[in-house]
Amino acid sequence: MCSPAVMAHVHRTIGEAAPAVSRRGLLGAAGLAVLGGMVAPRAVSAAPAAPTISIRARSLVDLTHTLTPDFPVWPGSEAFAMEPVVVIDPSPFGSITGSLGGSAGPARGEFLVNRLSYCEHVGTHIDAPAHKIPDGRTVEELPIEDFVAPIAVVDISDRARVDADAVLTVADLEAWEREYGRLPARSVVAMNSGWDAHVANPGKYVGLDVTGTPHSPGFDPDAVTFLVEERDIVAIGVDTLSIDAARSRTYGAHVAALGAGKYGIESLANLSALPPVGATVVVGAPKHRGGSGGPCRVLAFVD
């Protein structure tokens, strides 16, 4: 983005009496202002076209919750926060005034800018191996090939409806394969417990009992061990706060998945809108150096 000084120069150059200029034209003029006095660049040949990846789909499903300050978090964890740094000045050529988020309030200018504050593990997000495993891969080190994958959805919502501590077991995976065939190669295996229906009710979603112990469904560690040792998966996903059942204190599902170099996706949405097999998921993973995870946008293409 051009600096406020450059934008102000462009405004003065155009003048209020000049013909209307589109935002694209305005930014182009700003670019010329920045380049003023520089030698024109030599013509360069067009870069070769990037390879395309074709995904067949009849529909597209967003598996991502909207992140708000009210999104459920573990007790003591930092909630998502957002505050305006710059708000758009409605005048034709607004100038930068005020302070950047100080006591005088947000600045006023040409572009809306917000400051975000959040824990890496909030909302729909990734757990990289480093989240639990010493010397495990951090989020920017995960192979990009693992972010586009078939997704297999294993439904345990009937059990979870009556048992908040329900877990996805090896028996569930074997039953799924008897009905739908072997789990797809290099797949994301997701547990659908129906828990995303409770996201607007943080008390239910976290599931704290009178002793302060949380309760929500997750993966049985033995099921994760089965997946990483006997099936070809890239990740596991859940529609709850944790890939482990919330009451776990050994975190066996985390250890089994992240210890094998796989990643987890927590707090997925809309898994009930997917078929058990036949969809492809695209995970918009964050890429900050040394990250243990982070909020992500997850889309499913349904064939």
At 56 the pLDDT is 76
Lowest mean pLDDT: which of 78-82, 103-107, 116-120, 161-165? 103-107
Quick one: pLDDT at residue 90?
Answer: 85
pLDDT at 49: 59
The average pLDDT across 111-129 equals 97
Q: What is the pLDDT of residues 233-264, one digit of tens each?
A: 999 999 999 999 999 999 999 999 999 999 99
CATH 3.50.30.50 domain extents, the chain? 125-302
Residue 88 — φ and ψ, nearest 5°?
A: -75, 125
Give 176's pLDDT tier (boundaries 50, 70, 90): very high
Query: Does residue 29 have a pLDDT over 60?
Result: no
pLDDT band at 15 (very low <50, low <70, confident <90, very high): very low
**Once rounded to an integer, what is the mean pLDDT over residues 144-172?**
98
Cβ–Cβ < 8 Å for 117, 78: yes
User: Any idea how long the chain is?
Assistant: 303
pLDDT band for 87, please (50, 70, 90 cuts): very high
3-state helix, strand, coil in the chain (%, to 5): 25, 25, 50
Non-local (6+) Cβ contacts of 251 within 8 A are: 132, 244
Between the alpha carbon of residue 247 and those of residues 3, 208, 212, 214, 215, the distances in Å are 51, 9, 10, 5, 5
Q: Output the CATH code of domain 125-302.
A: 3.50.30.50
pLDDT score, position 208: 96
Higher-confidence residue of 174 and 53: namely 174
pLDDT, the chain, mean: 85
